Amino acid sequence: MSDNPSAEPWQRTVVLPSERGTSRLVTDDLLEQLGLYGWPQDEIFGIHLAAEEALVNAAVHGNKLDPAKRVHVECHVSPDLVRLTVTDEGPGFDPEAVPDCTRAERLEFPSGRGVMLMRSFMTRVEYNPRGNSVVLEKRRGVAPSPAE
């Protein structure tokens, strides 16, 4: 809880079960804090989208919805920076190996857009070497720079 948003960053660590529909346990608070810190609606949209994609990826693809595994989330919100770290307990993956969903032959595939959307709306998206943890960062007013 932050009664004086301008003074201190809001930080929270959340551990989620690997179930569908649990992302709201993070995003509801995150959206509230973004509003309190005065983030513009268009940037809140992109942050919400990136967070949703990362949280679903971690539970569904990372942990394969294994009830024994957890998704670990660290949130940091300040007036000019949002940082989310989402870590699953799966084996990890190579984000560079995800096919480009905008290529003509992939355009009508119904899945595979999560990582691309994160990169499109956040300033920095960085996976650890194992590929089971991603840092999503958005600097206020700074346009995203999607990876090639």
Partner 1 sequence: MATHRRIDVSKTGDVSVVKFLDRKILEEAAIQELGAELFALVEVDNRKAILLDFDGVEFLSSAALGKLITFDRKLKTAKGRLKMCGVAPGILEVFQVTKLNKVFDIRTDATEALTAF
Q: Footprint of partner 1 on this chain (CB under 8 A)?
A: 20-21, 23-24, 42, 45-46, 48-49, 52-53, 56, 101-102, 107-111, 113-114, 116-117, 120, 146
User: How far is it, in rounded angstroms, from Cα 10 to Cα 65?
Assistant: 29
Q: What angle do CA 45, 50, 52 make, to 5 degrees?
A: 95
User: How far is it, in rounded angstroms, from Cα 92 to Cα 21?
Assistant: 21
Q: Rank residues 42 and 96 by Cβ distance to partner 1 and give the closer one.
A: 42
CB of 102 vs partner 1, minimal distance in Å: 4
Strands (E) in 9-91, as ranges, are: 10-17, 70-77, 81-87
Q: Rank residues 36 and 101 by Cβ distance to partner 1 and give the closer one.
A: 101
Q: Rank residues 75 and 116 by Cβ distance to partner 1 and give the closer one.
A: 116
Q: What angle do CA 101, 106, 107 make, to 5 degrees?
A: 75
Residue 51 has φ and ψ, to the nearest 5°, of: -65, -45
CB of 86 vs partner 1, minimal distance in Å: 15
CB of 62 vs partner 1, minimal distance in Å: 15
CB of 17 vs partner 1, minimal distance in Å: 14
Q: Distances from the Cα of 55 to the Cαs of 77, 101, 148, in angstroms?
A: 17, 20, 23
Q: Rank residues 56 and 75 by Cβ distance to partner 1 and give the closer one.
A: 56
